[in-house]
Chains A and B, each alone.
Chain A
Amino acid sequence: MFRYIVRRLIQMIPLLIGVSIIVFLLGHLAPGDPVRMLLGEEATQEDVERLHAVYGFDQPLPVQYFRWFSRAIRGDLGVSIRQTIPVSTLIFERLGATVELAVVSVFIAVLLGIPLGLFASTRRGSIWDYLTMIVSLLGVSMPGFWLGLVLLSYVALHVNWLPMFGRDVSIMTGLVTLFTKFRADDLINAFRFLLLPALALGTSMMAIIARLTRSSMLEVLSKDYIRTAQAKGLKKGVVVVKHALRNALMPVITMVGIQFGAMLGGAVVTETVFAWPGVGRLVINAITQRDFPLVQGGVLMMALIFTVVNLLVDVCYALVNPRIRYE
């Protein structure tokens, strides 16, 4: 297992270099000039040339890339052109908000999605099955920004204690005040601000998990060993949860892992609708502004997080299914 993890980590290096080259080329070969974006519509030619020299954009592309790369491997992702703040600072000050939103969304999705799928699969063909599947179809079909605005207009506007936008303190801060000062208000505030964005972001994932759990369960429930278990006279609950669900969860875990990795790259739409200060908005703004160091640094971070999460998912397989061994 340890050797497997080390091998996977080493394999990540060429992958990340590949990603960085692709991002670099896509950025620089697409039309649009960061200096002109910075100067806006009032740019003069002299200003453009002066700033090109300041930022090194007058150098050939390979030179620019290797300059960036040689600093990046030493952990220096450069400085945002637009904000003159280190890229790593900009990313890390928003990473907490993004991770928090992703974790809570996944939590909501898993906590509701798996029981829903389980419920539907054990009542196959019944009215409950159809109802659950219709609800989850709705969940998959609703675009996130629409659901977000609906939640704001019909829930937050009328429920006084749900805020409309933004973020207050982090869950971490909330836990710290709870355990050091025995006050829960910070933690509650953290969740109050998180609830609607996490619902908006988690709903489609919940729906996908419910559908996947249902179909995967139906497949497993028709297997011979389930019939054997039933024939042995085991209780229905034990058969479903202990024998069937554990085996049915494999594809669900894969899906959760992929979605979670993607969410950690920032949920641009949800972040925008709820004015949530996460990395998605940061990187999208950086792309429209052609803030190359920030785009490159941001995408590299996302790729890193995504591959690490994938690795963790593979490790999880072994925990859920002891028959899986990594050599």
Chain B
Amino acid sequence: MVRKSSLFVTLALLVVLAFSAVAGADNNTLVIGSGAEAVGLDPRLETDVPSFERINLINQALVQFATNMELEPALATEWSVSDDTMTLWFKLREGVKWHDGVPFTAEDVKYTYEWVLNPENGALNMGLYADIDEIEIVNDHEIIFRLKQPNAFLMNNIARMPITPKHDGDRVDFRQSPIGTGPYKFVSWTRDDRLVLVENEEYWGGRPNIPNVIFRAIPENSTRLLAFEAGEIDIYQGGMVAQEIGRLEADPKYVVQRTPGTGYTYLGFNTKVGPLADVRVRQAVSYLIHREGIVRNVLNGIGTPGIGPVSMSLPWFNNDVVRYDYNPEKAKELLREAGYEPGQINLRLFTNENPDRMRIAEILQYECMQAGINVEVIIEEWGAYLARVQETDDFDIFILGWSGQLDPDRAMIRQFHTNGSNNYGKYSNERVDYLLDLGRTVPQESQESIDIYREAQEIVVREVPYGFINYTEEVGLHHPYIGNWEVHPYGAAAWQDAHLMTKNK
């Protein structure tokens, strides 16, 4: 009898507890729903955006990109680049402490870069810093980088490398539990589930307004959106459900922020083998890309029609290049000029299983067929696809995208220089090579730099090694009770100023 009644009490207790509501996080905790889990949290080793979204709350670079894409002080308060772009000088912020209380000094900066440049450590981004020859510590808060060869844009790469502590950076599990100088401190990480951070009360930029931040990894976009609508997450981060954007923008319960991104999607052409070796055929295909239609119907308006390799928001952007507005008549004329009868050209177009890219491929296939070009669309698994594009010339056209194109050097030299590491279509133009080499030797703020890259864009767009499809757009989605947050054009930098954010639910 006693046993029975205690069982009953337990059951009653269970029922009461079960019906107590799920308490959403209170005003002291910011919950960010992220589309992908971080690979790791060591800025020297990671290359993916989801990792850097999180790292940038914990660790900081010498300089960072503001939302207008200009460099602003972070761990360095002042800096200068010599006229020959061979020497970089930094004045470091004083009074900054690591999360364990040890002071931050120039030794940490030197340590971080030397670690990255040591091939034994297997830093994936080593190539971005390969031009650094030596690092000289002037005093605890002053440091000089000397380069092997001019590189005016190295500053932008420096903005992508948060500094790690010399006294702790060699710890075996640093990648799983880092310490930094940023506004939030690492607490715990359950992979594929949650990363928990707590405020750095002594943060040099001011104590954070929201004491706790939790990143939740929710891979399925629909689930993440439902969790956002149910109020279980405060901010929706990562791939947007494009069909839903109209509804969300119209709903006063949510705030949708949009800003031009730093990437673009393109058709890559094989400029050495097959009919596309003729520039007129490439131009014809570019005239057949219905950019407005693709942005409107495939991307649901998220993005803008492509023009060239440099983002429209950067000062180097050249607006006076040839425009390939959709024009089938012009395309047919170019094909006739090149000596092709309708039906004579057969092309193989490759893409991976990305749904947007597959639809773009189908649309292009149809448009090309109308103009007398037969296109076979072949869809491959990502790994196999990347291997084909990067390691062979066994393709006519492929669809890929670039992200994080923060300056014209990054957007062009690897892609269009004859020796470029990502020049998969084997494009080659002496003048372009000359301009892209020259651009690195000129300070990036100068008019000369702008002139150099505008000319390079003009040639590249005219000769069509790429058919530019669309520029990307960054979308931020949050509840109206979140304040002081702006969606960043460069996704990885989204949370670098999280200490300013507010939550009043």
Residues of A within 8 A of B (CB): 30-33, 36-47, 50-51, 54, 82-85, 90, 93-94, 149, 152-153, 156-157, 160-167, 184-185, 188, 192, 272-275, 277, 281-282, 288-290
Contact = CB atoms under 8 A, between A and B. Distances in A.
5 contacts: A42-B47, A42-B414, A47-B127, A184-B13, A275-B223
A274 B175 CA distance: 27
Contact of A164 (B10, B219, B226): B226
Contacts of A167: 193
A56 to B, nearest CB: 12
Contacts of B384: 30-32
Given A32-B381, A192-B18, A164 B227 contact: yes
Nearest to B40: A83
Nearest to A93: B191
Contacts of A153: 226
Nearest to B47: A40
Interface string B244-269: 00000000000000000000000000
Interface in B185-200: 190-194
A94 B127 contact: no
A167 B218 CA distance: 11
Contacts of A83: 39-40, 175
Interface string B173-211: 001100000000000001111100000000000000000
B193 A157 contact: no
B428 interface: no
Interface string B87-129: 0000000000000000000000000000000010010101100
A109 B60 CA distance: 50
B383 A41 contact: no
Contacts of B122: 50-51, 54
B344 interface: no
B476 to A, nearest CB: 20
A50 B217 CA distance: 32
A255 to B, nearest CB: 29
Given A82-B39, A152-B226, A153-B226, A33 B220 contact: no
B222 interface: yes
Given A44-B421, A167-B193, A275 B219 contact: yes
Given A38-B124, A274-B223, 19 more contacts: A30-B384, A31-B384, A36-B387, A37-B386, A38-B47, A40-B47, A44-B127, A44-B421, A47-B124, A152-B223, A157-B226, A161-B21, A163-B22, A164-B223, A166-B218, A184-B17, A188-B14, A272-B219, A289-B383
Interface string B371-414: 00000000001111011101100000000101000000000001
B230 A164 contact: yes
7 closest A-B pairs (Cβ-Cβ)? Answer: A32-B383, A44-B421, A277-B192, A31-B384, A164-B227, A275-B218, A160-B21
B242 to A, nearest CB: 17
Nearest to B17: A188
Contacts of A273: 220, 222-223
Contacts of A93: 190-191
A94 B17 CA distance: 27
A165 B386 contact: no
Contact of A39 (B124, B224, B388): B124
Contacts of B232: 163-165
Given A30-B384, A41-B422, A185-B17, A156 B10 contact: no
B223 A165 contact: yes
Nearest to B193: A277
B5 interface: no
B20 interface: yes
Given A42-B422, A161-B20, A166 B193 contact: yes
Contacts of B22: 160-163, 192
B383 A30 contact: yes
Nearest to A158: B230
B458 interface: no
A37 B39 CA distance: 13
Contacts of A43: 390, 421-422
A281 B192 contact: yes
A157 B223 contact: no
Contact of A149 (B39, B219, B222, B382): B222
A84 B383 contact: no
A229 to B, nearest CB: 35
A288 B39 CA distance: 14
Contact of A36 (B19, B191, B386): B386
B47 A39 contact: yes
B20 A166 contact: no
Contact of B48 (A32, A33, A40, A274): A40
Contacts of A165: 216, 218, 223-224, 227, 232
Contacts of B217: 275
B390 A85 contact: no
Interface in B340-370: none
B220 A275 contact: yes
Given A85-B176, A149-B222, A33 B387 contact: yes
Nearest to A50: B119
A151 B371 CA distance: 48
A39 B122 CA distance: 11
A275 B191 contact: no
Nearest to A160: B21
B236 to A, nearest CB: 12
A163 B492 CA distance: 28
A277 B190 contact: yes
Contacts of B14: 184, 188
A274 B19 CA distance: 21
A157 B220 contact: no
Contacts of B10: 184
B455 interface: no
A53 to B, nearest CB: 9
A148 B288 CA distance: 41
Nearest to A48: B390
Contacts of A31: 383-384, 387-388
Contacts of A42: 47, 414, 421-422
A274 B119 CA distance: 40
A36 B190 CA distance: 27
Contacts of B47: 38-40, 42
A17 B40 CA distance: 32
B45 interface: yes
Nearest to A40: B47
A179 to B, nearest CB: 11
Contacts of A46: 127
A82 B40 CA distance: 9
B328 to A, nearest CB: 31
A156 B230 contact: yes
B387 A32 contact: yes
Contacts of A161: 18-22
B127 A84 contact: no
B433 interface: no
Nearest to B404: A42
Contacts of B226: 152-153, 156-157, 164
A157 B229 contact: yes
A84 B175 contact: yes
Nearest to B121: A54
Contacts of B414: 42, 44
A126 to B, nearest CB: 35
Contacts of B126: 47, 50
A41 B400 contact: yes
Contacts of A33: 383, 386-387, 391
A200 to B, nearest CB: 11
